[in-house]
A and B are shown apart, each in its own frame.
Chain A
Amino acid sequence: MVNYLIFILVVAGVYALLAQSLTLSWGLTGLVNLGLVGFFAIGAYASAMTTKWAGWPIPLGIAFSILVGLGVGFLVTISTLRLRDDYLAIVTLGFAEVVRLVASNEIWLTGGTDGIAGVPSIVPRAWGPNYHITMLVIVTSLAITVHLLLNHLASSPWGRALRAVREDQVVAAVAGKPVVLLKAQAFSIAAAIAALAGAIYGHYTSYVAPEIYQPLITIYVFLAVTAGGVGRPLGALIGSYLLIGFLELTRFMAEVVPGVTPVQAAATREIMVGLALILLLRLRPDGLLPERNQRAPKPVAVHPKGTTS
């Protein structure tokens, strides 16, 4: 039971990383990434392949997956950043499917549908319960570190420029902000964070396969971010833990209903997830912790003596 709880908390930490990614692209910049799970998968594969097959040390594999996430994120945005935002939604949705397709079919590269088993672990699995506790510490501190970095970025001039782009691209452009560049930067860095989450998750579970990276994962992260607060990195962090609690609750609820087949129980859970997102968007779109407006810096000497305004 305790081991299970720890496992759940590690998974929550991975979702917290994904939620930070979505907060950067969607929350701060207004770029909807419906293919988040695709970047999650790419990160997992990049690190698993290099560490398992090429024998790279794990930190190098993880760093490589971050780079791959950054690069692929940039590639995906190139064709759409000048267009209406819903085009990016369509492209990213398709992207995640293509990632799954390539992962299933390029057997020489990815192991096909069998996936990659025995991905090296960050700390020895032989530690038993201590393995999970150590991983919990690692994942949680990583999530908090990324969160603090994102918080820092969000309140920097760069973060303010992103929000300006989100609110009104034309005004941001008129104000001299390089809109397309800012969007490309935000989306690529967000993709890199998702890839990092994937790499960590792959090393933790030691198994990477196409079937793991279902589109539903993207919806989970949207649910976490919407619940916590769109545009508030802390909200996304808290939202991820709420999400995992909610997912466990739906598992429990689906199981106590009598006379329901396993397929029906799984369907019931997914219906609850979808309904939760619909209801949140409707009833509390700002989430638990709504985004705070940054206060404008105090103007210096607004009305100096002897001048009129």
Chain B
Amino acid sequence: MLSSIVQALLNGLVSGTILAVPAIGFTAIFAVLRYPNFAIGSLATIGAYAGWYANVRLGWPLEASFALAFLGAGIAAVAAEWLAVRPLEKSGALMMAICSLAVGIVLENMVRFGFGNDPRGFNVPLMRDIRFGDLRISPQQVENFAVALLLMALLWVALNFTRMGRAMRATADNPELARLKGVEPATVAAITVVVGGGLAGVGGMLVALDTAADPLTGFRLILSVFAAAVLGGLGSIPGAVVGALLIGMVEELTVLLLAPNYRTAIGFVVILIVLTIRPSGLFGEKSG
């Protein structure tokens, strides 16, 4: 029993780290553009398919496929932002959120139109699990974990040590002040959407690597992404990381103790509890 709990926590650590990638994307877009982007699930799906296309159809190695997943989803995100969501800026965050949901439906079905409903597996070698006593982990999990960590490290460096990164954080903190300091809001918004969408795309590919890519890959992810972001505090990047780790572990423990089918419902329960007790989440700003 104990070893299965430790195993669940280990699995949760890996899946939580992977979940952190799209959760950062969602929360970063919220921080800068001030609306919840419900297209995030479809962007993850686009990333999964872009990565699959590069890996299987073009025969690229996984590293290059990740780059295409990032670019494909990032470009789709910024195109949707410019064409559909941004024109509604004056109508308020809620209208933008509804519009992003419609965008998500369009994107998901463009994928379905192009590739059908069949699951698409990646071209990865089957390898034996690595064992530590009773614990086991697959080499693919280790690699995905490393990719997610590397991406987060890159993001941390970009946010703290580049001009654009600082401009993004400044805009998230106080848009008016950032504008007075000469930060161009449109550029910051565009780059945030590319990066946020790109992260969702890589997240989708990481999840698809474990199983397969299908048009609902991203949709199955969104409750966990929302839960991670709300638990950490909507708009907080460190919050999204911690939130994702906790959600990942709680989900794996749920699989162990409850019916595995309720894995995704955990996210919803966590959202309700957090919003009732501490709406600003672990690291969030005031949300009243």
Contacts and interface: CB of A to CB of B under 8 A. Distances in A.
A97 B268 contact: yes
Given A83-B287, A83-B288, A281-B95, A267 B109 contact: yes
B109 A34 contact: no
Given A89-B36, A271-B113, A274-B106, A281 B98 contact: yes
B84 interface: yes
Contacts of B98: 32, 34, 89, 222, 277, 281
B93 interface: yes
* Highest count of chain A CB atoms <10 Å: which of B35, B106, B227: B106
Interface string A80-96: 10111111011101110
Contact of B102 (A87, A219, A266, A285): A219
A100 B87 CA distance: 34
A78 B265 contact: no
B247 to A, nearest CB: 13
A216 B105 contact: yes
Contacts of A84: 93, 287-288
A82 B280 CA distance: 12
Interface in B208-227: 222-223, 226-227
Contacts of B106: 270-271, 274-275, 278
A30 interface: yes
B122 interface: no
A86 B98 CA distance: 10
Given A32-B94, A94-B271, A86 B36 contact: yes
A103 to B, nearest CB: 11
Contacts of B102: 219, 222, 274-275, 277-278, 281
Interface residues of B, number: 46
A3 interface: no
A269 to B, nearest CB: 8
Contact of B275 (A79, A263, A273, A275): A79
B279 A83 contact: yes
Contact of A281 (B99, B223, B265): B99
A222 B103 CA distance: 14
Contacts of A130: none
A98 B97 contact: no
A104 to B, nearest CB: 7
Interface in A191-207: none
Contact of B267 (A94, A216, A222, A268): A94
B56 interface: no
Interface in B165-185: none
B276 interface: yes
Given A83-B288, A270-B109, A273-B105, A98 B268 contact: yes
B272 interface: yes
B38 interface: yes
A267 B113 CA distance: 6
Contacts of B259: 105
B230 interface: yes
Contacts of B110: 267, 271
B261 interface: yes
Contacts of B105: 216, 219, 270-271, 273-274
Interface string B255-277: 00001011011011001100110
A292 interface: no
Nearest to A102: B265
Interface residues of A, number: 43
A95 B287 CA distance: 21
A91 B272 contact: yes
B97 A83 contact: no
B3 interface: no
Given A91-B272, A270-B109, A277-B102, A105 B88 contact: no
B59 to A, nearest CB: 26
A285 B262 contact: no
A145 interface: no
A278 B109 contact: no
Contact of A94 (B88, B95, B223, B234): B223
Nearest to B277: A79
Interface in A52-107: 78-80, 82-87, 89-91, 93-95, 97-98, 101-102, 104-105
Interface of B: 35-36, 38, 84, 87-88, 91, 93-95, 97-99, 101-106, 108-110, 112-113, 116-117, 222-223, 226-227, 230, 234, 259, 261-262, 264-265, 267-268, 271-272, 275-276, 279, 287-288
Interface of A: 30, 32, 34, 78-80, 82-87, 89-91, 93-95, 97-98, 101-102, 104-105, 216, 219, 222, 261, 263-264, 266-268, 270-271, 273-275, 277-278, 281-282, 285
What 7 pairs across the A-B complex have the smallest Cβ distances?
A274-B106, A274-B105, A267-B109, A94-B268, A277-B102, A267-B113, A267-B112
6 contacts: A84-B288, A93-B226, A98-B268, A270-B108, A274-B104, A274-B106
